Amino acid sequence: MQPNLSDIPPIFYPFDSHEPFTACKVCGLDLLLGTTDYFIEKAFKNNIEYQVSDVVFEYAICSPCAHSLQSSISEASQKSMAEYFQQQEAFLAKMEAFQQGKGESIATVLTKCSITNQPVSQLSDYMIYGHFRGNKMVTSTMPNVVSGQVMDELSALLSNETLGAMNDFKDQYFGGPVALEDLWKDKPVFL
Ligand SMILES: [Zn+2]
C-alpha cells in the first residue's frame, strides 16, 4: 500500500451501503478501477437534541468532472473564496501539519468543523469532503468538515452567477424533498 493512502472511513460510504461509492455522479466512470482520483461530498442535517443525522445529499465525482464544474465558478467567486481561506490561519496550519503526516488523525479531523472547530454533534448542518483513489482515501489531502455557519459565510461571498451554477448542478443531479432542496439552496458545493 502506498503511504499516502488509507482505508475509506465508512462515513464516506453511500448512506445506504457498506461499500464505497462506485461511480462518478456526472459521467458514470467506474471509480474503483483506481485509474482516476475522485472526491466525495456529503451534506448532513443533524437533530442535535436527538442526535439523529440525515444525509441531505451525497455524491462522488471524478477529478476531470470536478475540474470542468470548477470552471463554472466565476473568477470573482474564486478570488473571494481563496481570500476567505487565506484568512483562516489555524485552519491552514492544521492542513499543513496533516499533509506532513504530523496532524490530527482522520477520525479526529472528522469530529469537528475544520474552520470553527465546533463538534459535529453540535452542528445542525454540515458537509464533509474528501479525496479518494480506488477503494482508498488519499491522505495527502486533509478531509474537511464544513459547518453550516461557514457555508453561509462562504455563500455570502459568491457571485450570483456562481450560486446559479451550483444550484443548476444540484437541480440536475439531485432530486429530493422540496424542503431539503430549499434548505441547501444557495449553499456552496465544494469541488
Ligand atoms: Zn466523472
Neighbours of ion ligand 1 (CB under 5 A): 24, 26-27, 29, 62, 65
Domain ranges of the chain: 5-184
Nearest Cα to 129, choosing from 118, 121, 138, 119? 138
Q: In angstroms, what is the span from residue 126 Cα to ligand 1's centroid?
A: 24
What distance in angstroms lies between residue 36's CA and the mean position of ligand 1's atoms? 9
Query: DSSP code of 187?
Result: P
For 6-15, 83-92, 173-182, which range has the lowest pLDDT when averaged over its residues?
Answer: 173-182
Q: Is the pLDDT of residue 109 over 60?
A: yes
Whether the pLDDT of residue 191 is over 60: the answer is no
Going by the DSSP 8-state scheme, the letter that residue 188 receives in this structure is P
Residue 2 has pLDDT above 60, yes or no: no
What is the distance in A from the centroid of ligand 1 to the CA of 38? Answer: 8
pLDDT of 121 reads 93
Alpha-carbon span 97 to 142, nearest angstrom: 9
Confidence of residue 1 (pLDDT cuts 50, 70, 90): very low
Mean pLDDT of 70-95: 91
State which amino acid sits at residue 111. Answer: T
Which residues, including other chains, have CB under 8 Å from residue 172's CB and lie 6 or more apart? none
Between the CA of 70 and the centroid of ligand 1 the distance, in Å, is 13
Length of the chain equals 191
Interval 28-41: pLDDT, tens: 999 999 999 999 99
Given this model, what pLDDT does residue 188 score? 72
Give the span between the Cα atoms of 177 and 180, in whole angstroms: 5
d(CA 173, ligand 1 centre) in Å: 13
pLDDT for residue 172 is more than 50 = yes
Query: For position 182, what pLDDT does the model report?
Result: 67
62-79 pLDDT per residue, tens: 999 999 888 888 899 989
Distances (CA, A) of 61 to 29, 65, 111: 9, 6, 23
pLDDT at 15: 92
Res. 59: pLDDT tops 70: yes
